[in-house]
Structure 1
Amino acid sequence: MYHGAFGDRLGRSFHLNNPPVLHSRTRRGARLAVTELRIDQSGYGMTSPMGSDDAYLVCLNLRKQSTHELWCDGRSVCSSSYEGGTAYVLDLRRDPIAYIGDPLHSLYFYMPRPALVEAREELGRNSIVDLAIQPSECFRDAIVSSIGQTLLPIFKQAAAANQALVDHLLQGLCAYMAATYGGLSIRPDIVRGALAPWQQRLVTQMMRERIFEGISISELAEACGLSAGALARGFKKSTGMSPHQWLLSRRIDRALELMEGPDASLADIAFHAGFSDQSHFSRVFTQKMGVAPGAWRKSLTSSCKRVEAA
């Protein structure tokens, strides 16, 4: 079961052990969290998949990145730089992964959409909410920055002694983001001819559940009340790829997680990620990632050794 992109789970995506994290909960019990991530060397490489979740990460950048490359739903959505003190938002429904080129120091605020909906309702506003910020959009916000700077010293102190302050700041930031940036979604995949949001969620969930054996277009179309052709066209309009390409991308995501372990062979990884054989896995991996899986694994091992030696 997926438990949210914070703490150890987020750290694993960045190949970091036990990053510091602060927690809170809303009145209805929705989890809020902020994780501090720090990478002190350059050329770190790609993150691993964070997992799909109906939640956002609000990322406060404390150091400049000369190269900020971000992929969502298997598509490149950003290739630029950002300055220290800026922020951006990741929609965890879109399977974000990133390339880390420069030393990194950031705070990642985990905000499930139910917490944002709850905040909007308490403010007397419409409960239908998305954070209407494109993933490629870096922005400056004095409130986000100030809350982040206030929380930084608490990571090094006894969290329990400061829990009331942590609750106040995290819940306050959630309410602020919901009030200031909440609204109807401006996600680029909600366009004319695309699947309805419920159809896209259903199709992707069905494919995740059948990641090993695969699933036919006709089954997906029947579940959505569409013809096979309309389903295929709508899905590509929504995600930028065909259902088959999307399924292969999720298998690659699974393979990337398995490759973090040093013991499994590439043949075993191919099998457990749902590929027919190692040759098929190697061909798809190289096409998607631009490097063979063996070379990727070697670079990942080198990155981990650099972190341990730091």
Structure 2
Amino acid sequence: MKLEEARMYHGAFGDRLGRSFHLSSPPVLHSQTRRGVHLAVTELRIDQPGYGMTSPMGSDDAYLVCLNLRKQSTHELWCDGRSVCSTAYDAGTAYVLDLRCDPITYIGEPLHSLYFYMPRQAIVEASEELGKRNIAGLDIRPGECFQDAIVGHIAQTLLPIFNSATAANQPLINHLLQGLCAYMTSTYSGSSIRPDIVRGALAPWQQRLVMQMMRERIFDGISIGELAEACSLSAGALARGFKKSTGMSPHQWLLSRRVDLALELMADPDTTLAEIAFHAGFSDQSHFSRVFTQKMGVAPGAWRKSLANHKRMEAA
């Protein structure tokens, strides 16, 4: 993957999602809503045990609805660098990942799952068509496992199409993906007026704006003053509110996003760690190595070696 390609985010489906699991060209089916919002479902299979940690799946205003087709007795989930779930998943159960929270998972056993990509825009569009108002998104706790016969039946109907997707199948794919989006919105959506907003935290629109501004300035950085002005807050109130909302300072959050980008760049074996550090916005390779090790638990070189081993296992 070229450096300039890694700077573009294409959504957590297909090849982009596959890279997070160190898999090449996983099968994917696509659709879109009436307003042109992209929907997709990706099939992922890992046949060897002891897989380990995924790479970040991207920071996107979207959800992944994950249906487990194979039992997982050891599955852990981290969001924004914090452990939020450690549990077993039975075959046929589902859970939801909020891609705004930088989810990373540990996979200890062979895996076979379908990952439905649903942008928040699609949820809002579906809620309006259903006559529901003030819908913020899906209201399911991170990693919370649930069993839903409709989700399971839609997944089982789509499963054989991955190997024989043709233009003739597209109307059915559209019907199922759009129908699942509407069903998830109708059944699992939550109001944008949340009673459990933490006192002193940023308002949801302020948090989204701050994160978007930092993403856009990931390479050269952005001052607390600029972020505070955009939110009509003082610099101190912005910093305290952001940490209350996310558990980390704006600077720590920005460094975490730079690590995400570095993980993308590492997929190219011809790119040196010094080049990766520069293109991910770190001051030098030493700074990059220190921050990367703090977040991922291993040094960049060790992570890259592990990635190469996964690729050899996949090719074997």
TM-score by length of structure 1 reads: 0.94
Q: Give the CA deviation at 1:129.
A: 3.4
Aligned residues: 309
How many percent of aligned residue pairs carry the same amino acid? 82
Tell me if structure 1 keeps the 8 A contact 2:75–2:105: yes
CA–CA separation in structure 1 for the residues paired with 2:169 and 2:285: 51
Match of 1:206 in 2: 213
Match of 1:74 in 2: 81
The alignment's C-alpha RMSD in Å is 1.9
* 2:16 equivalent to 1:6: no
CA–CA separation in structure 2 for the residues paired with 1:2 and 1:211: 13
CA–CA separation in structure 2 for the residues paired with 1:189 and 1:299: 41
* 2:236 equivalent to 1:239: no
Tell me if structure 1 keeps the 8 A contact 2:70–2:113: yes
Q: Give the CA deviation at 1:19.
A: 1.0
CA–CA separation in structure 2 for the residues paired with 1:216 and 1:113: 28
Q: Give the CA deviation at 1:189.
A: 9.1
Match of 1:112 in 2: 119
Amino acid at match of 1:223: A
CA–CA separation in structure 1 for the residues paired with 2:291 and 2:36: 41
Q: Give the CA deviation at 1:299.
A: 0.9
**1:82 and 1:188, CA in 2 relative to 1: closer, same or farther beyond 3 A?**
farther
The correspondence for 1:64, drawn from 68, 71, 81, is 71
CA–CA separation in structure 2 for the residues paired with 1:129 and 1:109: 18
User: Which 10-residue stretch deviates more, 42-51 or 140-149?
Assistant: 42-51
Match of 1:138 in 2: 145
Amino acid at match of 1:243: P
The correspondence for 2:191, drawn from 162, 165, 184, is 184
CA–CA separation in structure 1 for the residues paired with 2:222 and 2:165: 50
CA–CA separation in structure 1 for the residues paired with 2:206 and 2:124: 21
Amino acid at match of 1:36: E
Match of 2:4 in 1: none
Q: Give the CA deviation at 1:73.
A: 2.1
Tell me if structure 2 keeps the 8 A contact 1:54–1:92: yes
Q: Give the CA deviation at 1:256.
A: 1.0
Task: Summarize the alignment of residues 230-309 of structure 1 with structure 2, pairs less than 5 Å apart.
Answer: 230-309=237-316
CA–CA separation in structure 2 for the residues paired with 1:300 and 1:159: 33
**1:187 and 1:276, CA in 2 relative to 1: closer, same or farther beyond 3 A?**
farther
CA–CA separation in structure 2 for the residues paired with 1:18 and 1:129: 32
CA–CA separation in structure 2 for the residues paired with 1:26 and 1:283: 43
CA–CA separation in structure 2 for the residues paired with 1:136 and 1:72: 10
1:206-240 deviations in Å (ceiling 9; x for gaps): 22222222222222212211111111110001111
Task: State the SS of the aligned residue for 1:76.
Answer: strand
CA–CA separation in structure 1 for the residues paired with 2:10 and 2:274: 29
CA–CA separation in structure 1 for the residues paired with 2:171 and 2:215: 39
Amino acid at match of 2:51: Y
* 2:90 equivalent to 1:86: no
Task: State the SS of the aligned residue for 1:129.
Answer: strand
Q: Where does structure 2 lack aligned partners over 5 or more consecutive residues?
A: 1-7
Tell me if structure 1 keeps the 8 A contact 2:43–2:112: yes
Q: Give the CA deviation at 1:187.
A: 8.7
Tell me if structure 2 keeps the 8 A contact 1:133–1:186: no
CA–CA separation in structure 1 for the residues paired with 2:137 and 2:158: 25
1:56-82 deviations in Å (ceiling 9; x for gaps): 110001111122122222222222221
CA–CA separation in structure 2 for the residues paired with 1:189 and 1:177: 22
Q: Where does structure 1 lack aligned partners over 5 or more consecutive residues?
A: none
**1:105 and 1:9, CA in 2 relative to 1: closer, same or farther beyond 3 A?**
same
Show structure 1 runs of 4+ deviating over 4 A.
Answer: 185-190
Amino acid at match of 2:80: D
